[in-house]
Amino acid sequence: MRTKILRFTPATVLFLMVLLLMTAAVSPLLSGPQEKPQSQQYVRDQNEHRVTVAVKMIQVYVTDKSGRPASDLTAEDFEILDNKKPVKLIHFEKHFLEEVPAEKPLPTPQPSLARKFLLLFDFAFTDARGLRRAREAALKFLESSLLPSDEITLLTYTALRGLTLHEYMTRDHEKIKNIVSSFGLKNATGRAENLASFYYSQALAESQSEEISSSTEESFFTDQARLQTGQMLDITRRQGYVDQARFYFQALNNLAKVLRTVPGNKNIVLFSSGIARQILFGRTGGAVVGDWQTPEQFAAQLAEYDAAQADAGLRSDFTNLIKEFKAANCTIFAVDISRAHKGSEVSEFQVTGPGIRELEGADSLKQLASQTGGRFYASTVNPENAMEEIVNLTKNYYVLGFQVDERWDGKFHKVKVKVRKKGYKVYGEGGYFNPKPFKQYNSFEKLLHLIEIALSDDPGPYVPVEIPTVSFALVEKGWPGLLTFARASGDKLMEVFGPRTEVYLLLFNEGKELVFIKKFKAAVTEKDKKEKKTFLPSFLVQVKPGKYECVMIMRNMETGWCARGAASVEIPTALPVMPFLDPPVLLRLDDLSREIYASGEPTLASLYGYNGLNYSPLAGEVEPGIQKIYAGLRLACQPGSEEDLVVKAVLTEDNSRENINLPVSILNRIREGYLLKLLVELDSGGLQPGSYSLKFTVSGPRFPQPAESSIKFKVKAEEKTGDTILNHQFSQFLPD
In a domain, 441, yes or no: no
Same domain, yes or no: 664 and 675: yes
Q: Which long-range contacts (CB under 8 A, 24 or more apart) does 177-182 make?
A: 177/139, 177/142, 177/143, 179/154, 180/119, 180/135, 180/138, 180/139, 180/142, 180/154, 181/135, 181/139
Question: Both 229 and 316 in a single domain?
Answer: yes
- Written in H, E and C, the secondary structure of 456-467 is CCCCCCCCCEEC
Can you give the residue range of the structural domain that contains 267?
116-343+354-379
Q: What is the CATH number of the domain that holds 205?
A: 3.40.50.410
What single-letter DSSP state applies at residue 171? S
In a domain, 139, yes or no: yes
- Alpha-carbon distance of 630 to 683, in angstroms, equals 9
With a CB cutoff of 8 Å and minimum separation 6, the contacts of 127 are 273, 338, 339
- The pLDDT, as a whole number, for residue 342 is 39
Q: How far is CA 682 from CA 607, 660, 694, in A?
A: 20, 12, 11
CATH of the domain at 505: 2.60.40.10
Q: In what order do the strands lie in the sheet with 412-419?
A: 85-87, 78-82, 412-419, 431-433
Q: Considering the domain boundaries, does residue 274 fall inside one?
A: yes
Helix axes 216-228, 241-258, angle to 10 degrees: 110
- Verify that 85 and 172 share a domain, yes or no: no
Q: Is residue 196 part of a domain?
A: yes
214 and 288 in a single domain? The answer is yes
Residue 349 inside a domain? The answer is no
β 546-556/479-486 pair status: unpaired
Residue 136 counted as domain residue: yes
Counting the structural domains of the chain, the total is 4
Res 146: pLDDT? 86
Q: What is the pLDDT of residues 68-106, one digit of tens each?
A: 889 999 999 999 999 999 999 999 999 887 644 445 445
pLDDT tens digits along 146-180 = 888 899 999 999 888 889 999 999 999 999 999 99
- Are 229 and 329 part of one and the same domain? yes
Domain-embedded: residue 104: no
Q: Which helix (H) or strand (E) holds 507?
A: strand 501-508
> How many Cα atoms are found within 13 Å in the side-chain-facing hemisphere of 51?
12
**Nearest to residue 485, comparing CAs of 635, 608, 636?**
608
Cβ atoms of 681 and 665 within 8 Å: the answer is yes
**Domain end (from 575, 603, 624):** 575
Q: What is the pLDDT of residue 89?
A: 93
How many CB atoms lie under 10 A from the CB of residue 661? 9
Residue 124: which of 166, 155, 169, 84 has the closest Cα?
Answer: 155
User: If the chain, 736 residues long, is cut into consecutive pieces of 10 residues, what is the mean pLDDT of each piece?
Assistant: 40 36 31 38 39 74 89 94 93 77 53 89 84 89 85 91 91 92 74 85 74 69 78 55 87 92 90 86 54 60 53 87 93 86 36 49 91 89 83 88 81 92 89 86 89 81 84 91 93 86 94 92 91 94 94 93 94 92 96 93 96 94 89 94 92 91 95 95 91 96 94 82 30 30
C-alpha to C-alpha distances, 308 to 258, 275, 276, 279, nearest whole angstrom = 35, 15, 12, 8
Residue 53 forms beta bridges with which residues?
Answer: 6
Beta pairing class for 546-556 and 562-571: antiparallel
For residues 185 and 232, membership in a common domain is answered with: yes
Evaluate the CA torsion angle 79, 460, 155, 124 in order and state its sign: negative
**In terms of domains, do 300 and 362 share one?**
yes
For residues 535 and 603, membership in a common domain is answered with: no
* Residue whose C-alpha is closest to residue 330's, from 393, 270, 399: 270
Same domain, 541 and 498: yes
639 within some domain = yes
Classify residue 673 by burial, with Cβ atoms within 10 Å: 0-12, 13-18, 19+: exposed
